[in-house]
Structure 1
Amino acid sequence: MTGQADVIVIDWGASCLRAYLCAESDDGLKVLAQVTGPGVTKVGRSFEAVLSNAIAPWSKQYGALPIFMSGHIGSSLGWHEAPYVFCPASPEDVAKKVIQFESNGHNIYVVPGISCAEPDAHRDVMRGEETHVLGWLNLDDAHRQGKHLLCLPGTHTKWVLVESGLITVFKTAITGELFDLLSHQSVLIQNQSNEIDMTAFERGVRLTLDSDSGQFVHGLFSVRTLQVLGDLKPEQAKSYLSGVLIGSDVRAALMAPEWTISELSSITLIGSQSLCRLFSKSLEIKNISTGNIDDKQTCLSGFSAIYRAVL
């Protein structure tokens, strides 16, 4: 570790803790070191002990730096619950609702989640993704102009509509969680190969994406029947299942009444390169162009904006 550190920022989700030791610069937060740890659902209620252990070398070298955290750590399952900010929400609205407490000499700030109500009275919430969206807004002034649709693929995929710099509405799909459950706790998958077979993946995508009547529930069982009948190799099954699920996710987003796809020039994907690639391929089938941004970049940009607004 080199250089003077100013702040620790932590993306602490349900499955993983990602902590970054950062220095402030004119271009935002510069990462000096990083560490990972267990997620909120894996540590019981031992949040303080897990945090202290994860950042112990940094605390020893730099003292009690301020710590900013977002994600499930601020939920009812986490350490200290941060309230939801109701849409439409701006970066300034989020910064105003940050909660503060102290732990082992560190001043800790927890970023609130965001909630929305859709036209059909359905409610939705996000925890952690708001930091990435705010980071995306912070990356380019042009992002605060006009209407944009962002997709954050993951355990719980978020589709987020941003208008004139405000998060106005969003929708959640438990695509990644379903994939994990069906891959490990159903009869559908017997071979746990993690290699992506793009031919099998695209076949699964088209089953649900191109369906006028909807093929999701019936389509899921085709993962099993195609293997039984010899039309799908066991090592292709996970790729095909991934395609069925992502195809359904994308289809629902394209048909959502909260936005009109034809009014959008493109859809921006924020996430890991491998996962964004699969969503991008699915959208390309419908002739929709995408832009991809790494989620680490948006995470740090979001924390940078909140850090500067609060301190």
Structure 2
Amino acid sequence: MIAIDWGSTNFRLQVVNTLGDIIYSVIRPIGINHSSRTELEVCLINTIEQLPKQFLGMPIVMSGAVGSNVGLYETPYIDCPVNPCRLAEHLVNFRVGELNTYIVPGIKTQARAGLPDVMRGEETQILGWMQQATKTEFKEALLCLPGTHSKWVLFKRGEIVDFYTAFSGELFEGLCTQSLLVSGAQVHDDVAFHQGIKANLMNTFLLNLIFSTRSRVLAGLHGKNVSAAYLSGVLIGAEVKAAINLYGKGKKIHLIGADHLVDSYATAIQIYNGKSIKHQGALMAARGASLLANLFSVNHSLERRA
């Protein structure tokens, strides 16, 4: 099958075999946020047409922002708790030109503060993770999926029961490009990044810590060219600190995502005396999409409906 994870910044296509392994992949920097619907359709059609012939005609399952109100076709949100069977039942059939595709629905929950929360795309990665979880993890686990809109997910008895979103990724990008905090060429610096994480240990508030990205430069405490690294540490540190306080200390955190992000979050978790396990986001997404397709085909053949 063909699994497409299409988010706000990137298009990722993966051909998955019957064992859930990725045997072919394509990544394009064409995100939902900055593309028109016509551009999205052209991207999808052209990418599929350029695949090796042996992959043409395979079922296509898409997840992520592609199913949002700014994507190709808006799919509904379903309420937590959510398990694989419920997601498979709510796959939405959608045609793009001659292509017959299936879009995974989003998930919604009512956060502890009474505010609604939503996710799209991460649920497919979670299903991929679920297939290799131990019995103990299947019973209860805490997952973190870092990204543009990071998700912290409580998983119990085979279901996604609750989650909340941290706006860290998009906030970081906006502050780096639209504020005075970061300017000029930047280099990653582990020392500055660690200092940003540890700044959250002080008894102050986040908005002040964010501004310290600039004030520390003016005070000569770090170079202008490592401001982004320090700011990243501040935001990730604040997110991890809040999550540990919310879900309790001592829980092992499963990190699912791109390697560089997972490594950054693992560092922050370690500084806060937590433990984490890393999982490759692309592989989890592919295996999750494969599971949904298999569940769906039990009663509804994807090939027949195409």
Same fold (TM over 0.5): yes
Letter in 2 for 1:18: R
Residues 161-310 of structure 1 aligned to structure 2 (within 5 Å): 161-193=154-186, 195-208=187-200, 210-212=201-203, 214-256=204-246, 259-262=247-250, 264=251, 266-310=252-296
Structure 2 residue 138 is matched with structure 1 residue 150: no
Cα pair 1:70 1:127 within 8 Å, conserved: yes
CA distance 1:62–1:238, shift in 2 (3 Å) = closer
Structure 2 CA distance for aligned equivalents of residues 112 and 63 of structure 1:
24
- 1:44 is aligned, of 36, 42, 65, to 36
Cα pair 1:43 1:50 within 8 Å, conserved: no
Structure 2 CA distance for aligned equivalents of residues 289 and 145 of structure 1:
18
CA distance 1:59–1:75, shift in 2 (3 Å) = farther
Cα pair 1:137 1:143 within 8 Å, conserved: no
Letter in 1 for 2:264: L
- 1:8 is aligned, of 2, 22, 37, to 2
- 1:19 is aligned, of 13, 16, 23, to 13
Cα pair 1:59 1:65 within 8 Å, conserved: no
Structure 2 CA distance for aligned equivalents of residues 196 and 276 of structure 1:
16
Cα pair 2:256 2:280 within 8 Å, conserved: yes
SS class of match (1:297): helix
Structure 2 CA distance for aligned equivalents of residues 171 and 277 of structure 1:
21
Provide the residue aligned with 1:129 in structure 2: 122
Letter in 1 for 2:150: T
Could you tell me how far 1:136 is from its partner in structure 2? 0.5
Structure 1 CA distance for aligned equivalents of residues 27 and 267 of structure 2:
32
Deviations 1:137-182 (A, max 9, x none): 1223536632111111111111011011110111111111111111
Structure 2 CA distance for aligned equivalents of residues 269 and 41 of structure 1:
25
Structure 2 CA distance for aligned equivalents of residues 115 and 299 of structure 1:
19
TM-score by length of 1: 0.90
SS class of match (1:41): coil
TM-score by length of 2: 0.91
Letter in 1 for 2:23: V
Structure 2 CA distance for aligned equivalents of residues 216 and 186 of structure 1:
16
Deviations 1:92-115 (A, max 9, x none): 111111101233333210000110
* Greater relative contact order structure (CA < 8 Å, 6+ sep): 2
Provide the residue aligned with 1:53 in structure 2: 46
CA distance 1:203–1:62, shift in 2 (3 Å) = closer
Structure 2 CA distance for aligned equivalents of residues 278 and 37 of structure 1:
22
CA RMSD, 1 decimal? 1.8
Letter in 1 for 2:6: W
Question: 5+ unaligned residues in a row in structure 1: which ranges?
Answer: 1-6
Provide the residue aligned with 1:86 in structure 2: 79
Provide the residue aligned with 2:304 in structure 1: none
Structure 1 CA distance for aligned equivalents of residues 280 and 149 of structure 2:
17
Structure 1 CA distance for aligned equivalents of residues 64 and 136 of structure 2:
23
Structure 1 CA distance for aligned equivalents of residues 30 and 67 of structure 2:
15
CA distance 1:33–1:248, shift in 2 (3 Å) = closer
SS class of match (2:125): helix
User: Sequence identity of aligned pairs in percent?
Assistant: 34
Structure 2 CA distance for aligned equivalents of residues 200 and 30 of structure 1:
36
**Number of residues of Structure 1 aligned to a counterpart in Structure 2:** 296
Provide the residue aligned with 2:59 in structure 1: 66
Could you tell me how far 1:229 is from its partner in structure 2? 1.7
Structure 1 CA distance for aligned equivalents of residues 138 and 45 of structure 2:
41
